[in-house]
Amino acid sequence: MSLIRRHTGMFPTLWNDVLTPDWFGGVDRFNPTLPAVNIREGEKEFILELAVPGQKKEDFNIEVDENVLTISMEQKDEHEESSEGYTRREFKYTSFKRAFTLPETVNEDAIEADYEQGILRFALPKKKEALPKPKRLIEIGK
């Protein structure tokens, strides 16, 4: 089961793989504006973690629509300082958007998120019918 869908062009080729490597789920691993992501599958849930230090939980926009979990953030910061004929103006603009196709086994209505120490963490619980069933002993009849 995969939380990331690899999108290729209409005619994927070996050259596409060599020239535009997306071995990590279609994300340029050298792009500093995209947060690093860890995904783990447990027995009862998936855990998805994004490294986004220095933000506030109010900065994030999180939505689920048609089996796609979309996480985005946009932050603008401007600062101007004037003294003795000098003017210094600094600005910073940070944004990202990540989308994950959820497996059909995820219970979308029970997804939970928290943000602590720079890590945005999601618990994606599996549907009851997707959970492993306990062993059952079968007795032999007549």
> DSSP readout, 66-77?
TTEEEEEEEEEE
Query: HSE-up of 21 (CA within 13 Å, CB side)?
Result: 6
Q: Which residues contact 97 (CB under 8 A, 6 or more apart)?
A: 70, 71, 72, 73
User: What's the Cα-to-Cα distance from 134 to each of 27, 35, 43, 100, 139, rounded to whole Å?
Assistant: 38, 38, 12, 30, 16
pLDDT at 78: 80
Domain ranges across the chain: 36-129
Contact 44, 126 (CB under 8 A): yes
CATH of 36-129, one of 2.60.40.790, 3.90.1300.10, 3.50.50.60, 3.50.90.10: 2.60.40.790
Structure tokens at 60: 């994030």
pTM value > 0.75: no
Residues of the chain with pLDDT under 50: 7-27
What are the tens digits of pLDDT across the range 105-137?
899 999 999 999 999 999 999 998 877 788 888
- The confidence score (pLDDT) of residue 90 equals 79
